[in-house]
Homo-oligomer: A and B are copies of this chain.
Amino acid sequence: MANKTILVVDDEKDLLDLIEYNLKKEGFDVLKAENGKEGIQIAKEHNPDLVLMDIMMPKMDGMEAVEKMRSDDQLKSIPIIFLTARSDEKTEVEGLNKGGDDYITKPISTTKLISRIKAVMRRFDETEEEVNRLDVHDLSIDKDRYIVKRGEEEFQLPRKEFELLYYLASRKGKVRDRQTLLNKVWGDNIYVVDRTVDVHVRKIREKLGNHYIETVKGVGYRFKE
In the assembled complex, A71 has its CB within 8 A of some CB on chain B: yes
How would you classify the secondary structure of chain A's contact residues: helix, strand, loop or mixed? Answer: loop
In the assembled complex, A90 has its CB within 8 A of some CB on chain B: yes
User: B-facing mask of A208-225, CB < 8 A → 1, else 0?
Assistant: 000000001111001001
Copies of this chain = 2
Contact B102 A219 (CB under 8 A): no
Contact B129 A119 (CB under 8 A): yes
Contact A225 B145 (CB under 8 A): yes
Contact B145 A188 (CB under 8 A): no
User: B-facing mask of A84-95, CB < 8 A → 1, else 0?
Assistant: 000000100011
In the assembled complex, A203 has its CB within 8 A of some CB on chain B: no
In the assembled complex, A118 has its CB within 8 A of some CB on chain B: yes
User: B-facing mask of A188-219, CB < 8 A → 1, else 0?
Assistant: 10000000000000000000000000001111
**Residues A71 and B132 in contact in the complex (CB < 8 Å), given A95-B167, A145-B225:** no
Q: Kindly list chain B residues whose C-beta atoms are within 8 Å of the C-beta of A103.
A: 132-133
Q: Kindly list chain B residues whose C-beta atoms are within 8 Å of the C-beta of A118.
A: 129
Contact B133 A90 (CB under 8 A): yes
Contact A170 B94 (CB under 8 A): yes
- Chain B CB count within 10 A is highest, among A100, A102, A122, A129, for A129
Q: Kindly list chain B residues whose C-beta atoms are within 8 Å of the C-beta of A131.
A: 99-100, 102, 119, 123
Contact A122 B133 (CB under 8 A): no
Residues of A within 8 A of B (CB): 67, 71, 90, 94-95, 97-100, 102-103, 115-116, 118-119, 122-123, 128-133, 135-136, 140, 143-146, 156, 158-160, 167, 170-171, 173-175, 184, 187-188, 216-219, 222, 225
CB-CB nearest 3 A-B residue pairs: A119-B129, A159-B218, A97-B135
